[in-house]
Amino acid sequence: MVRPALTDLSEEERLFRTTVRAFAEERLRPLAAEMDREGKLHPEVVTWLFELGLMGIEVSESWGGAGATFFISVLAIEELARVDPSVAVVCDVQNTLVINAVRKFGNSEQQKRLLGKLAGGSVGAYALSEAGSGSDAFALACRAEARGSDFAVTGRKLWVTNGGEAELFLVFATVDPGAGYKGITCFVVERGMAGFSVPRKEDKLGIRASSTCELVFDGVVVPRANVLGVVGKGYKVAIETLNAGRIGIAGQMVGLAQGAFEGALAYVQQREQFGHKIAEFQAVRHRLARAAIDIEAARLLTYNAARLHDAGQSFVREAAMAKWFASDAAERVASECLELYGGVGFTKECPAEKFLRDAKIGKIYEGTSFVQLDTIARLLF
């Protein structure tokens, strides 16, 4: 019996991939360069993502979602990233972090209220990092002080993806600094709450159209009904959702590498030097062969982790492997492909230049490559 490859898709999954690819080609590709230059999403992009059902993929159909799988989320992220990684990360954070956290840790009332909003038009954001809290994710300075039946949240968050568009924010703050990570609690903060502001958007090297913002909380009163999970157990929400989120980032890097590869593959079959298409030169063909190997290996690791997640099996080590390898491969493939364009690859008119800038963040956010290696090593023993 021939064993199916991990990259084999069901009929439903193939149809979904085809639909998202067509959307990305028809709607996003014409806007990608402009959004990158301006550093912001086209006003209609988020609306289109909701209309296509890509912002509530695992949300139950009864709450307005697609009722699909985590793996389907990864396919969506991959196909969007193949054209524009900035749009892919909007979809990624919504599904693999925010919705995943509410589905797993929200009570029935929260799930009904929040998942309906998230699937129906409200963008979500995940606010964990601070100036002094990056890889050391639980060194939080953001405080939440109990005030009767409510909490008052005070502090700042940095590098919050979707911060410019989000209506709902999962905010991690400590209710007891002396308790260390056991004081961390996850709060749902809604845009418009008194004392909450988004004062600044970062000017970034890559994924420029995706908003990355600073958030400020000046005594924001959050009702106890907006505590996600258990008070003092926010570290559990953070760890478990980030483990899944890393598979989403791996999917983003796979799509990015695929997009860079396809562009270079087409170019080398058109460009002539010394009387030959440059695709005829062995050095060029070998570079593309290595790129194809990198992409296939990254995709296999990513799909394996996503399938394990859907099967309810342990996937932490596999997620770390997928993120580490896919982000490393994406940067390498994007760089190799840019060089195949020659001088034009170094200009803004060439899509390869954008893919290389967009690739760099893969080794940094949702756990740096160093953190992934540490996680993998720890789980070997």
> Can 366 be counted among the known catalytic residues?
yes
Tens digit of pLDDT for each residue in 3-43? Answer: 556 778 999 999 999 999 999 999 999 999 999 999 999 99
242 and 346 housed in the same domain: yes
Whether 290 is covered by a domain: the verdict is: yes
Predicted model pTM: 0.96
Distance CA 338, CA 151 (A): 51
Tens digit of pLDDT for each residue in 73-98? Answer: 999 999 999 999 999 999 999 999 99
CATH number of the domain bearing residue 316? 1.20.140.10
Mean pLDDT over 154-180 rounds to 96
Mean pLDDT over 345-367 rounds to 96
Domain range for residue 173? 125-233
Distance CA 184, CA 120 (A): 29
Cβ neighbours of residue 215 under 8 Å, at least 6 residues apart? 127, 156, 157, 158, 160, 163, 169, 171, 196, 197, 198
Whether 162 is covered by a domain: the verdict is: yes
209 and 324 housed in the same domain: no
Residue ending a domain, among 184, 218, 233, is: 233
pLDDT for 154 beyond 90: yes
Distance CA 279, CA 308 (A): 39
296 and 229 housed in the same domain: no
pLDDT for 249 beyond 50: yes
pLDDT for 373 beyond 80: yes
What pLDDT does residue 127 have?
Answer: 98
CATH number of the domain bearing residue 94? 1.10.540.10
Whether 72 is covered by a domain: the verdict is: yes
pLDDT for 329 beyond 70: yes
Whether 1 is covered by a domain: the verdict is: no
216 and 277 housed in the same domain: no
Is the pLDDT higher at 1 or at 17? 17
What pLDDT does residue 136 have?
Answer: 82
Residue ending a domain, among 233, 268, 284, is: 233
Instruction: Exactly one of 58, 78, 318, 366 is catalytic; name it.
Output: 366
In the chain, the number of structural domains is 3
What pLDDT does residue 1 have?
Answer: 47
- Answer positive or negative: Cα dihedral of 207, 168, 115, 147: positive
187 and 288 housed in the same domain: no
Cβ neighbours of residue 191 under 8 Å, at least 6 residues apart? 166, 167, 168, 169, 198
Whether 2 is covered by a domain: the verdict is: no
What pLDDT does residue 357 have?
Answer: 98
